[in-house]
Structure 1
Amino acid sequence: MSIIVWGIIACEVGFWVVMLLGLAARYLLRLQRLSTALLLSVPVIDVLLLTLIAWDLLANRAVADFAHGLGAVYLGFTVAFGHQLISTVDAHFAHRFGGGPAPTKRPKTGPAHVRYEWQQWLRALLAGAIASLVLGAIILLVGDPARTAELANWYPRIGLVLVIWLITGPLWDLVADVFRSREPSEQLSS
């Protein structure tokens, strides 16, 4: 396994460990400042991964492979979805250990569900844009198309994932919601 794959794994584990330590400090130990410091340090993990990718491609003069592109996509995902994920886990922690209210559940049907699915897809679009910008920046910094060809291959992959997400997420739910809203009126007219 490449150093980048190990870096992605370490960053994912680090994300969860730092987040859970931050929430444990807040709700179990009641150490608000430590909790805040830990939770604010979560983005540092992303910077470490970006540094590892840049170091491997620039200092090591490595040829970009699948893992380098995956690292950029991982960065986009954590930037776009990280805060939402931390807020969700925080709400569960607050309920379980801090006497807080039960976390709100995401809507399962209706216009609220369709709105939620659009919001999630827009986050995915943001993740794709961030990943694309990171890929483009790395390609420009390396300045050697022969060494960064694999990174350019990630653009259509990102686009394909976003199109599939759009079709199977918000568009599918929008159509399903329209058909669900028609059913009662059709039954009344029969």
Structure 2
Amino acid sequence: MNFVAWTIVACEIGFWIFIISGLVTRYIFNQKRIGLFLLAMTPLVDVALLIVTSIDIYSGATATIAHSIAPLYIAISVVYGKSMIRWADERFLYYVKRQGPKPERKSRYGLCHT
């Protein structure tokens, strides 16, 4: 695996580390501002991946599958990032902190799903 592929793996891990540390700081340690700051750092993971991929291509590397996965990862993170954080926030609050309403499961079929 090349450097960009490992960077994608590291960015995915970093994304979830920022989310988990933000939620733990926010709800366990009751540091809402620091928790919000950590949650707001998740877009920097995408910026880091964009920079690494751009530098790699600019320096003359041959485009590989990893180079084509990087923009896909960034697009998914931009489009679904907020909803993933909301999803994690709701479940963390209910299952770990034992507060808030039980998260609803979305329908996988029928009119609600469509």
**Band the TM-score falls in, shorter-chain normalisation:** over 0.9
Q: CA shift at 1:110, angstroms?
A: 2.3
- Contact (CA 8 Å) 1:22, 1:39: kept in 2 or not? yes
Q: Which has the higher contact order (CA 8 A, sep 6+)?
A: 2
Runs of 4+ residues deviating >3 angstroms: none
Q: Which runs of 5+ in 2 are unaligned?
A: none
User: Equivalents in 2 of 1:30, 1:104: separation in Å?
Assistant: 25
Q: CA shift at 1:98, angstroms?
A: 5.1
Alignment of 1:31-110 (within 5 A): 31-58=31-58, 60-96=59-95, 97=97, 99-110=99-110
Q: Provide the TM-score with structure 1 as the length reference.
A: 0.57
User: Equivalents in 1 of 2:49, 2:108: separation in Å?
Assistant: 35
Determine which structure has more spread, i.e. the larger CA radius of gyration.
1
Q: CA shift at 1:108, angstroms?
A: 3.2
Q: Does 1:20 pair with 2:43? A: no
Q: CA shift at 1:52, angstroms?
A: 0.3
Q: Provide the TM-score with structure 2 as the length reference.
A: 0.94
- Measured on the aligned residues, the alpha-carbon RMSD in Å equals 1.0
Q: Which runs of 5+ in 1 are unaligned?
A: 115-190
Equivalent position of 1:182 in the other structure: none
Equivalent position SS for 2:29? coil
Equivalent position of 1:6 in the other structure: 6
- Contact (CA 8 Å) 1:107, 1:113: kept in 2 or not? yes
Q: How many residues align?
A: 113
Cα shift readout 1:71-125 (whole Å, capped 9, x = no counterpart): 11111111111111111110001112151111121023321111xxxxxxxxxxx
- Contact (CA 8 Å) 1:27, 1:98: kept in 2 or not? no
